[in-house]
């Protein structure tokens, strides 16, 4: 299996006042192609920090982080934007949809950075909306949707370019049980059919039940890393 993420002896310090706060400590983690894995831990344990570093939205203070064979710290702004826009999809707890855009336009948005024709984009957006079951809402705007529907739009936006990696930061935090199970089943299906690698962060037991690998973070350290047999 291809190694997609390779982290060695990684630390993240944040400056606070005249000192520093260490949010991640001695992180060693390899994630291979096709995994459905989650970083699990209480609030403040470092989950978002870790996902942001994997997604090259932030950089580590010490150690090595390689994503798709690239040392992310050595990338300039354009190169890391390129890595994100081509290969990584993001799903956030708060959806981060553009309120004035329709569902179609929100999902099309990441494709505008890539070289697709109008017709290709349209087909890709429709495919993604079919995956998440939201074709009937294609012309709606976020304010007209429920939280579960907004998160499904966010999933469609994350997967529309068929990225190798999807990073989902507490994707069910604002959803009820039924919507949580619906979006998790959608993601399992994408993982199984397209081979998309998922890395979640969560402290939601419903999400943990779907994971095939559970990486537990506590106070910035990985305290356990378990494969879960299904
Ligand atoms: N920009 C920052 N500056 C200082 N401390 C931060 C910053 N971002 C996060 N932290 C701290 O790092 C720790 C981990 O945060 P975070 O990764 O958001 O945890 P989680 O996502 O697990 O709740 C927390 O104690 C948080 O307060
Ligand atoms: Mg967080």
pLDDT value of position 140: 98
pLDDT value of position 183: 87
In this structure, what CATH number is given to the domain that contains residue 58? 3.40.50.300
Domain-located, residue 228: no
Q: Which two tokens stand for residue 6?
A: 């390779």
d(CA 168, CA 179): 15
Range of the domain at 134: 3-223
Domain-located, residue 213: yes
Q: Is residue 21 lining ligand 1, measured as CB closer than 6 Å?
A: yes
Q: Which two tokens stand for residue 196?
A: 């998309």
C-alpha 92 to ligand 2 mean position (Å): 9
Q: Is residue 197 lining ligand 1, measured as CB closer than 6 Å?
A: no
Nearest protein Cα to ligand 1, atom 18: 48
Mutate which of 38, 43, 44 for ligand 1? The one with the most ligand atoms within 8 Å of its CB, which is 44
pLDDT value of position 93: 87
Q: What is the pLDDT of residues 6-29, one digit of tens each?
A: 999 999 999 999 999 999 999 999
Residue 230 pLDDT > 80? no
DSSP β-ladder status, 62-67 and 3-16: antiparallel
Q: Is residue 142 lining ligand 1, measured as CB closer than 6 Å?
A: no
pLDDT value of position 83: 94
pLDDT value of position 175: 86
Q: Is residue 44 lining ligand 1, measured as CB closer than 6 Å?
A: yes
Q: What is the pLDDT of residues 129-180, one digit of tens each?
A: 998 899 999 999 999 999 999 999 999 999 999 999 999 999 998 888 988 8
pLDDT value of position 218: 98
Phi, psi of 40 (to 5 degrees): -115, 135
Domain-located, residue 162: yes
Q: Stretch 201-212: mean pLDDT, rounded?
A: 93
Q: How confident is the model at residue 214 (pLDDT cuts 50, 70, 90)?
A: very high
Domain-located, residue 230: no
Instruction: Provide the 3-class DSSP secondary structure of residue 52.
Output: helix
Instruction: Indicate the number of domains in the chain.
Output: 1
Residue 1 pLDDT > 80? no
**Minimum mean pLDDT range among 5-9, 43-47, 92-96, 126-130:** 92-96
Q: Stretch 50-56: mean pLDDT, rounded?
A: 96
Q: Under a CB-based contact definition with an 8 Å cutoff, are residues 23 and 12 in contact?
A: yes
Half-sphere exposure of 30 (CA within 13 A, CB side): 5
C-alpha 93 to ligand 2 mean position (Å): 8
Q: Which two tokens stand for residue 57?
A: 């939205």
Q: Under a CB-based contact definition with an 8 Å cutoff, are residues 209 and 215 in contact?
A: no
| Contacts of residue 76, Cβ cutoff 8 Å, sequence gap at least 6 | none
Q: How confident is the model at residue 229 (pLDDT cuts 50, 70, 90)?
A: confident
Domain-located, residue 186: yes
Q: Stretch 122-133: mean pLDDT, rounded?
A: 94
C-alpha 22 to ligand 1 mean position (Å): 9
Domain-located, residue 169: yes
Mean of all residue pLDDT scores within the chain: 95
d(CA 73, CA 61): 9
d(CA 154, CA 82): 20
Domain-located, residue 50: yes
C-alpha 223 to ligand 1 mean position (Å): 18
Q: At what angle do helices 118-132 and 147-159 cross, to 10 degrees?
A: 130
Q: Considering every ligand atom shown, identify the ligand nearest to the alpha carbon of residue 19 and give its number.
A: 1
Closest ligand 1 atom, residue 52 Cα: 17
Domain-located, residue 109: yes
- Where do the DSSP E strands lie in 17-150? 19-32, 36-40, 62-67, 70-71, 88-91
pTM of the predicted structure, to 2 decimals: 0.95
Q: Considering every ligand atom shown, identify the ligand nearest to the alpha carbon of residue 49 and give its number.
A: 1
Q: Stretch 103-109: mean pLDDT, rounded?
A: 98
Q: How confident is the model at residue 69 (pLDDT cuts 50, 70, 90)?
A: very high
Q: How confident is the model at residue 72 (pLDDT cuts 50, 70, 90)?
A: very high
């Amino acid at each position: 299996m291809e190694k997609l993420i390779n982290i060695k002896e990684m630390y993240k310090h944040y400056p606070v006042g005249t000192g520093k706060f260490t949010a991640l400590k001695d992180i060693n983690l390899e994630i291979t192609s096709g995994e459905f894995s989650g970083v699990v831990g209480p609030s403040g344990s470092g989950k978002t920090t870790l996902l942001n570093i994997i997604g090259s939205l932030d950089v580590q203070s010490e150690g090595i982080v390689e994503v798709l064979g690239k040392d992310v710290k050595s990338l300039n702004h354009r190169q890391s934007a390129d890595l994100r826009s081509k290969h990584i999809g993001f799903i956030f707890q708060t959806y981060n949809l553009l309120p004035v855009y329709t569902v179609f336009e929100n999902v099309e948005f990441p494709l505008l950075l890539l070289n697709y024709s109008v017709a290709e984009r349209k087909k890709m957006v429709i495919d993604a909306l079919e995956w998440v079951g939201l074709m009937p809402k294609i012309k709606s705007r976020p304010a007209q949707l429920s939280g579960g529907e907004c998160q499904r739009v966010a999933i469609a936006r994350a997967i529309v370019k068929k990225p190798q990696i999807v990073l989902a930061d507490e994707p069910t935090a604002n959803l009820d049980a039924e919507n949580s199970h619906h979006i998790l089943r959608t993601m399992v299906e994408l993982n199984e059919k397209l081979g998309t690698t998922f890395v979640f962060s969560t402290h939601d037991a419903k999400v943990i039940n779907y994971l095939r690998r559970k990486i537990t973070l506590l106070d910035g350290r990985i305290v356990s890393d378990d494969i879960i047999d299904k």
